Chains A and B, each alone.
Chain A
Amino acid sequence: MPVLHSIQAEIGFIPREAVPIMANAMNLSRAEIHGVISFYHDFRDQPAGQHTVQLCRAEACQAMGARELEAHARARLGIGFGETTANGRFTLEPVYCLGNCACSPSIRIGAETYARVSIEKFDAIMAGLEAKE
């Protein structure tokens, strides 16, 4: 797993071509490596957008309007979970708890977690990221 984490940290995803190389180096079968990559939600075999927006769907956030936020995020970005916007800017992903449950709903983008994300705050965060480019 540390190997997979470092590949993904370096290039953003784990290319299919890397699987046989790792299998060879670690004396494992390609199936075993593929099995590990596909088991964990974090690992991806395709590049993600510039910003991956993780939206918490778990209970504490639901109690504070996460379902409405999810519907808004899908509409605002025009994508569903696991998809990337056509301009390659945003990828939307579900997450089950960010440990920020006293100040829900929460989203995370990279190393930053955002608290009490109202629909207005979500739009402001997205606009801020769009303006950066």
Chain B
Amino acid sequence: MSRFRIFVPADTTACALGADEVAAAIVAAARGRHIEIELVRSGSRGAFWLEPLVEVETDTGRMAFGPVEARDVPGLFVSGFPGDSSHVLAIGPVNGIDWLASQQRLTFSRAGWTDPLSLDDYRSTGGLRGLERALTMTAQAIVDEVKESGLRGRGGAAFPTGIKWQTVLDAPAEQKYIVCNADEGDSGTFADRLLMEADPFQLIEGMAIAGLAVGATEGFIYLRSEYPRCKAVLEQAILRAQKAGVLGEAILGSDRSFRLELRIGAGAYICGEETSLLDSLEGKRGMIRFKPPLPAIKGLMGQPTVMNNVLSLAAVSTILALGAAHYRDFGSGRSRGTLTVQLAGNIRRGGLVEIPFGATLRDLVEGYGGGTASGRPVRAIQVGGPLGAYLPEADWDVALDYEALAAVGAMLGHGGIVVFDDTVDMAQQARFAMEFCAVESCGKCTPCRVGSVRGVEVIDRIIAGDNREFNLQVLDDLCDTMDKGSLCAMGGLTPMPVRSAIRHFQNDFGG
């Protein structure tokens, strides 16, 4: 009898739903029934509502089962699994799952298909072609290719990546650095984590290409400490890439070198801000730096530094492999490539969605998301993390791209979409935005450090009905001060969720 290849994700969310136990149960049941299997711990496809999603390789493609719990496994085997099975959890071919099939996976094309730590899998699915090509190009040609692709930073600020790289390329220095910002702290986001756990070599390749593009021989990935599984995957992936000559001296047999180190944060949201991250990487308190000078001129250790988000660096692998035009042809207006969003919070079908730019919030939340998990009506949607706006139903038909969202006083940020049902108290959400800022402020500038504490107090007074009109005015002034007077986005954008909550959900604020 032929042996079955069975895939069970080792992803954080899949495991938080019991994937490790499912994997163990499958191995035990197969042994008990003398069925020969090869178990692959894959990455997740990001269809978290189906996790743990178990897949079996067949002549006609992968067959999916989910969501599987360990206690379902004996029953699955009784029904014929891993062969033909009509078990209630049998979904059919993976390619037939509309939620996934209707997406346009570019950056996440390998997620769920491959063994994240297999370089053979990576190569056989087009990996390393970008790096190979980059090794034949001049630094300027690589930068030009990235510029031409229209790639904009995926961390939140959406700055054109190619222009940033040009600045670093043009800055003369003995030593330059590539830093990957993997401090994905926004609530409602997990795209970076998913990519690093499902396809770490894509990030590694992108960083090596960035090194070639600007003349940097050293790179760092700054990963948040809240992601212990991700840390383990990256450690292994870097080790394997070094052994295979993808990293280190003489990358892919060339005369170029690129060394890569993983550094772990220590639970500070502010370290996702690039200058604070640099101070943290240097072993200091993660305090914001004044800009200018830009990190591209004076970054890590005072040297020119490319600082990019995980998804931006990963996208570079694809851009160099398939060409700038291929990437640019996705998208609309000035938002090129694919749009990566994460459906989170009170949502029936949560997970990662990668589609061309242009879809509306409603398409995503009602179409992909299927409404709330609680079954109650959606009331508010927060887009772009804890510093993003809360949007009422009137704004759900806006297209999700950088410019269209800015026009309604919102931002895409890192693409987190957090859904709340009609039980939400928006005054409490506004209060939390200020509280979060108070907890996570680095303390360097007064509007953020003091303003956030005062913000909580003023909102408490408004909720209590204490001099409501006057205190709403005070809060508005305070928001102005934070918005205009803060050094970075932490203090500068905290007013966004606060003001949007007041503007759109006035009734929750007493009176």
Residues of chain A having any CB pair with chain B under 8 Å: 1-2, 4-5, 32, 35-36, 39-43, 56, 58-64, 67, 95-104, 106, 108, 110-116
Contact = CB atoms under 8 A, between A and B. Distances in A.
B155 interface: no
Given A101-B189, A113-B15, A95 B226 contact: yes
Nearest to B190: A99
13 contacts: A40-B266, A60-B187, A60-B418, A96-B185, A97-B188, A99-B13, A100-B12, A101-B344, A101-B345, A101-B418, A102-B48, A102-B350, A111-B229
Given A1-B264, A40-B268, A104 B344 contact: yes
A12 B106 CA distance: 42
Given A103-B17, A104-B344, A97 B264 contact: no
Interface in B11-67: 12-13, 15-17, 48-49, 51
A114 B17 CA distance: 7
B284 interface: yes
Given A101-B187, A102-B190, A96 B347 contact: no
A98 B190 CA distance: 9
Contacts of B266: 1, 4-5, 40-43
Contact of B416 (A56, A100, A101): A101
B226 A98 contact: yes
Interface stretch (B70-78, B164-172, B419-427): B419-427
B268 A41 contact: yes
A98 B17 CA distance: 14
Contact of B188 (A60, A103, A108, A112): A60
Interface of B: 12-13, 15-17, 48-49, 51, 184-190, 193, 225-230, 263-269, 280, 283-286, 342-347, 350-351, 373, 382, 386, 416, 418-421, 424, 428-429, 432, 436, 439-440, 442
A1 B263 contact: yes
Given A59-B345, A96-B439, A115-B16, 17 more contacts: A5-B264, A39-B286, A59-B382, A61-B187, A63-B344, A63-B346, A63-B419, A64-B346, A95-B267, A96-B185, A99-B184, A99-B230, A101-B189, A101-B350, A102-B343, A103-B13, A104-B345
Task: Pick from A32, A98, A112 the residue with the most CB of B within 10 Å.
Answer: A98
A2 B190 CA distance: 25
B231 to A, nearest CB: 9
A62 B15 CA distance: 21
Given A63-B420, A99-B193, A101-B350, A35 B226 contact: no
A102 B13 contact: yes
A62 B75 CA distance: 35
